[in-house]
Structure 1
């Protein structure tokens, strides 16, 4: 006779054992998949056009070190300098297609993709690096990165070569000194127009071909950063270095969007964090090396001198028509935000009288707003050139309201606290002006409508 109690116990035991084995099997099957996901190594290629001894290459090596350490080996980076992966334009196209993972193009090469990249080619616009970094690391730089995103590129952080300077075989102190001078410029229509306006004969010549072009007499002058002037040995063909700081060469560490989108989120964040950290390292490196570059150039008997503020103004004044033609292409918002940053850097003195501008400078009526602003600037420049008003210089401070009444009211509140303010110019939006009337009356601010 069967002992059903024992049989029942046995069946329960076997069932539990089978379930346990089944669960264990599932866990063992899943473990390799999870391990594979976490431990997958992504090999990325970084290409750039600068020599192996350049600050860009040293920074690329630092970037590689930081990325591989932060990712615990899940990201590996191979670096290809000196146009090994093609010209800058070729590398940009490869990145867009997803055939090259990371690139480091000079800012002036990106204008073929987005016109806002002409921003860094504004002549005699950036006063110093502190001001410039606020722009690049702030909203203006963010606008440029956002524009690139729509073209298949992910901008990470701005590195640099630094400010540009003139080199020639004679002294240059004014636009007249550039008259009929065969001048090399990068393949950039904005730069080409600038030098035509200054009276030079501009030539498009590739970066690597500059020394031979100087040697063969194809060109007799050029512009570049100090590191390029030294590393390309341009001093062998140019007797004068004019420290003009007339433009800036930035390098934007950029990822292929196709590659970026296929990376896990934590590795995307790693690349951004490493890029921004390296930017600080690279900028300091360039600053330090620039002192050494100048010393080495002096050792090889290059004549070095700096443009005075008055000399810079001559160039800037002559180039204004070119800048105005490119304002819309660069972007009204980008330039207005930059102008505001510049204005914040200079405190209002007791010898100044302030006029405010409250208009749409970002949105649909931005062209009209900028026309009003430009007209006011021209009038102020004329008045100041004749001695100012009551012995004081006039100064324009502009604020954007984008056609939104709340923003306009906030602007008037800010203007009411502005030292030496005597009046505010308005834009085209009557609803905004009507919303501001009570506050204007309360603060006793003169309002001038268009």
Structure 2
């Protein structure tokens, strides 16, 4: 559910005031403050990576560039933060590429199930030429991608066991605002239901949805394991997060400032990869302690079921080219 118009306009008004204050501060102290809003919990490894970026950016700029981070959807949902970037009322945000595909069609490819052979293949794609191409694909939308963050593999979790795709038949499954995610759940026979991340716990409690899909740290930190006692590690997708800056702000930065921002972002990506694996292991241990049954299914059955998605996407020449580029990466 999206913010009511009045609340959204209030945020814009607040940002307008903030912008005036920060401009004044810059004139007096030669300090530029960049506001970064996102929807994750402060204990999430991706949030910690952005804090790391803020520290590195301040060091590189000798305190002239400061990153002010607003977590927990304080400034709106992922989609709303993207819209704020587009009009220049917010400097930076972190969103899932599943949501970003609504703005940048090329990123639909990231939501294709079983696109990556393994985690190393995913790193090679996202940190190589294909990844850089995808980061720049959002520029016409006034959004400049800085780096991708590892968000692990997404799997299904529910109130009832999911051992095969047939167990999803008729199940109401929460998905992101992503047409690719919606299509995937439909192929499995489920009923996809887009719900904002911050509203999902209540939706699970009240039976609005039967389950959802996400990575282990998000499942654990959101406490969804209190409602859903089955986690099926089919690892159907590995949809990364993307860190973006408003191109309206980017164009106002000097070459040195742009260099510092990009370097700090890349360094935070390296740091995030280090702590992500630890977060996954901790989450797996904690949900088992909480009584969650972890199911290891036959992934090949799930993989076979999604082949029609590939056939559909390859009907679009640009998408076919991207899929082939990704599959060709060693």
Query: What TM-score comes out, normalization by structure 2 length?
Result: 0.88
Q: Do residues 299 (structure 1) and 289 (structure 2) align?
A: yes
Aligned to 1:194: 184
| Equivalent-residue separation in structure 2 for 1:176 and 1:150 (angstroms) | 41
| Equivalent residue runs for 1:132-147 within 5 Å | 132-147=122-137
Aligned length: 304
Aligned to 2:98: 108
Does the Cα contact within 8 Å between 2:313 and 2:320 map onto a contact in 1?
A: no
Secondary structure at 1:249's aligned position in 2?
coil
| Equivalent-residue separation in structure 2 for 1:197 and 1:298 (angstroms) | 29
Deviation at 1:169, TM superposition (A): 2.5
| Equivalent residue runs for 1:335-374 within 5 Å | 335-341=323-329, 344=330
Does the Cα contact within 8 Å between 1:115 and 1:330 map onto a contact in 2?
A: no
Where does structure 1 differ by over 6 angstroms across 4 or more consecutive aligned residues?
none
Deviation at 1:138, TM superposition (A): 1.2
Does the Cα contact within 8 Å between 2:145 and 2:243 map onto a contact in 1?
A: yes
| Equivalent residue runs for 1:7-156 within 5 Å | 40-156=30-146
Does the Cα contact within 8 Å between 2:112 and 2:309 map onto a contact in 1?
A: no
Q: 1:60 to 1:271 in 2, by over 3 A?
A: same
Match of 1:326 among 313, 322, 327: 313
Match of 1:244 among 234, 256, 269: 234
| Equivalent-residue separation in structure 1 for 2:146 and 2:72 (angstroms) | 21
Does the Cα contact within 8 Å between 2:233 and 2:296 map onto a contact in 1?
A: yes
Does the Cα contact within 8 Å between 2:98 and 2:181 map onto a contact in 1?
A: no
Aligned to 2:254: 264
| Equivalent-residue separation in structure 2 for 1:128 and 1:284 (angstroms) | 17
Deviation at 1:329, TM superposition (A): 7.5
Does the Cα contact within 8 Å between 2:97 and 2:240 map onto a contact in 1?
A: yes
1:102-149 deviations in whole A, cap 9, x for unaligned?
A: 111111111111111112211122222110010111122122112111
Secondary structure at 1:105's aligned position in 2?
strand
Does the Cα contact within 8 Å between 1:52 and 1:81 map onto a contact in 2?
A: yes
| Equivalent-residue separation in structure 2 for 1:305 and 1:126 (angstroms) | 21
Does the Cα contact within 8 Å between 1:115 and 1:329 map onto a contact in 2?
A: no
Aligned to 1:159: 149
| Equivalent-residue separation in structure 1 for 2:303 and 2:318 (angstroms) | 18
Deviation at 1:188, TM superposition (A): 1.4
| Equivalent-residue separation in structure 1 for 2:131 and 2:265 (angstroms) | 15
Structure scoring higher RCO (CA < 8 A, sep ≥ 6) equals 2
Larger Rg: 1
RMSD: 1.7
Secondary structure at 2:114's aligned position in 1?
coil
Q: Point out the more displaced range, 266-275 or 323-332.
A: 323-332
| Equivalent-residue separation in structure 1 for 2:212 and 2:310 (angstroms) | 20
Does the Cα contact within 8 Å between 1:162 and 1:225 map onto a contact in 2?
A: yes
Deviation at 1:336, TM superposition (A): 1.3
Secondary structure at 1:150's aligned position in 2?
helix
| Equivalent-residue separation in structure 1 for 2:180 and 2:313 (angstroms) | 8
Deviation at 1:235, TM superposition (A): 0.8
Aligned to 1:234: 224
Deviation at 1:330, TM superposition (A): 6.2
Secondary structure at 2:74's aligned position in 1?
coil
Match of 2:303 among 311, 316, 326: 316
